[in-house]
Amino acid sequence: MTTTETHEPVTAPIVPSFDDEASSGRKLAIICSKGSLDMAYPGLILANAALGEGVEVDMFFTFWGFDMINPKYMGDLKFTMLGNPATHMPQGLGGVPGMTSMATHQLKRAIADLDVPEVPEFLEQIKASGGRLWACRMSADMQHLSEEDLWDGIEAIISASDFIEKTAGAQLLFI
């Protein structure tokens, strides 16, 4: 007995191209919703890396992420071990007086040892590299803040809907 095989057309696998032309037209939208030191850096690092690859970057600061763009707080963000099991320390230690200061100091030192800039300088670098930084209208209203209260590098205070329109087609990261 003979069998007849039918062959589906074979399509070539998609292989990414890492040359300069591949990055044109790419867009990344990063929503920064947290204002602690350990949560500020992932968005900043990803934005900086994307800009270095020629990707268009928009960052949207909302809720506690406003601390990253508020001159009163942006240079003094804190890191707490409390409620963070990734510190691999007993949770009770996080509530000990002085522990947040110590943990913040240790994290800042580790970041500085890698020659990573502090938050205000990192924002300056992102802005200078073409990144666009937006503040959330609802968060500004909740905190009774205006553009004058925020870091000068912010493009504007816009609504979530406006941000969605501005970043249509972008890859979205929520941090």
Residue 35 CB neighbours (<10 A): 21
Which pLDDT tens digit goes with each residue over 106-137? 999 999 999 999 999 999 999 999 999 999 99
Q: What is the pLDDT of residue 89?
A: 75
User: What would the pLDDT profile of 17-64 be if each residue is shown by its tens digit?
Assistant: 555 554 468 999 999 999 999 999 999 999 999 999 999 999 999 999
SS3 172: strand
The angle at the Cα of 76, spanning 72 to 81, to the nearest 5 degrees, equals 130
Place of tokens 């506690």: 64
**pTM higher than 0.85, yes or no?**
no
Q: Which helix (H) or strand (E) element contains residue 29?
A: strand 27-32
pLDDT at residue 13 greater than cutoff 60: no
Residue 79 φ/ψ, nearest 5 degrees? -125, 125
